[in-house]
């Protein structure tokens, strides 16, 4: 027993050399197994190593290009989503303005209708059926012009109605009694104000439709942003640590 230990200790250097040689042979054997068939000579091995390194570089470059494209697309779609969110915000503001315009138009129509009711009550008593002199006709024409222009400035007549009143067309008769003339003006004002109210309702409906479309676009783009950022993150993580790009910093505004 003591003799065996002494023999082993005395030959420790030779044993270590043998083990080292075995390890080297094992590494060489494994390397040889990894080589393609027909690659044995040093020059062939060098060429194979160079080709393998070139393929790895090409693969890394391809993946880097894919990651850059994914990141670029995620950035672009985030910009689009941000713009859509701003548009949706403007559309909601336009809805509020449209609602206010409907309220104003309705109030104006009610005021015009109340004026028409008073004019009808006044005309119900009738007017004297006396001949109208030229001077009186001229005075009534001037009064009609002033009344029509004042109503137009208040927003109670349209451009076409004012032109008809000044040119005495489409029922605008300067020879009418002032009470009858007031009734014609009141009817024209009600017609104009009701048409304006209808237009404001149409504008409000259009504003809400545009707002709904803009909101739906934001939601759709947000889903696309999430998918694009996930794809970009996966592509970035698949790259070697030395070539990874910085994460996309763009974010979509808060929920619509």
6 plus 111 within the same structural domain: no
8 plus 111 within the same structural domain: no
Q: Is residue 74 part of a domain?
A: yes
Q: Is residue 251 part of a domain?
A: no
19 plus 69 within the same structural domain: no
25 plus 68 within the same structural domain: no
Q: Is residue 184 part of a domain?
A: yes
Please state the pTM of the whole predicted model: 0.65
Q: Work out the mean pLDDT of the chain and round it to a whole number.
A: 79
Q: Is residue 252 part of a domain?
A: no
Q: Is residue 36 part of a domain?
A: no
231 plus 144 within the same structural domain: yes
165 plus 204 within the same structural domain: yes
24 plus 149 within the same structural domain: no
Q: How is residue 98 written in tokens?
A: 């449209």
pLDDT given for residue 23 in this prediction: 64
Q: Is residue 51 part of a domain?
A: no
* pLDDT over 80 (residue 61): no
Q: How is residue 194 written in tokens?
A: 């009701």
Show the domain range for 197: 59-124+131-243
137 plus 82 within the same structural domain: yes
89 plus 21 within the same structural domain: no
209 plus 89 within the same structural domain: yes
What is the band of 49 on the pLDDT scale with cuts at 50, 70, 90?
Answer: low
Q: Is residue 52 part of a domain?
A: no
22 plus 64 within the same structural domain: no
Q: How many domains does the chain have?
A: 2
Q: Which H helix or E strand runs over 177?
A: none
Number of other residues whose CB lies within 10 A of the CB of residue 66: 15
pLDDT given for residue 7 in this prediction: 43
Q: Is residue 50 part of a domain?
A: no
pLDDT given for residue 251 in this prediction: 46
């Amino acid at each position: 027993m003591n003799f065996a230990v002494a023999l082993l200790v005395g030959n420790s250097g030779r044993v270590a050399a043998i083990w080292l040689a075995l390890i080297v042979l094992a590494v060489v054997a494994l390397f040889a197994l990894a080589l393609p068939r027909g690659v044995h000579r040093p020059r062939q091995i060098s060429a194979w190593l160079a080709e393998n390194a070139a393929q790895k570089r090409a693969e890394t470059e391809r993946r880097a290009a894919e990651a850059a494209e994914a990141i670029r697309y995620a950035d672009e779609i985030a910009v689009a989503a941000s713009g859509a969110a701003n548009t949706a915000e403007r559309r909601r503001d336009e809805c509020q303005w449209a609602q206010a315009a409907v309220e104003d138009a309705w109030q104006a129509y009610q005021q015009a209708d109340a004026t028409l009711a008073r004019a009808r009550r006044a005309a119900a008593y009738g007017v004297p059926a006396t001949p109208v002199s030229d001077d009186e006709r001229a005075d009534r024409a001037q009064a009609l012009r002033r009344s029509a222009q004042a109503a137009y400035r208040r927003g109670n007549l349209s451009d076409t109605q004012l032109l008809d009143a000044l040119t005495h067309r489409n029922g605008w008769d300067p020879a009418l009694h002032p009470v009858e003339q007031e009734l014609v003006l009141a009817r024209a004002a009600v017609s104009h104000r009701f048409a304006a109210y209808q237009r404001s309702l149409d504008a409000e409906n259009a504003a809400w439709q545009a707002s709904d479309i803009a909101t739906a676009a934001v939601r759709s783009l947000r889903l696309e942003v999430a998918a694009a950022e996930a794809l970009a993150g996966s592509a970035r993580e698949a790259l070697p640590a030395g070539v990874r790009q910085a994460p996309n910093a763009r974010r979509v505004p808060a929920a619509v």
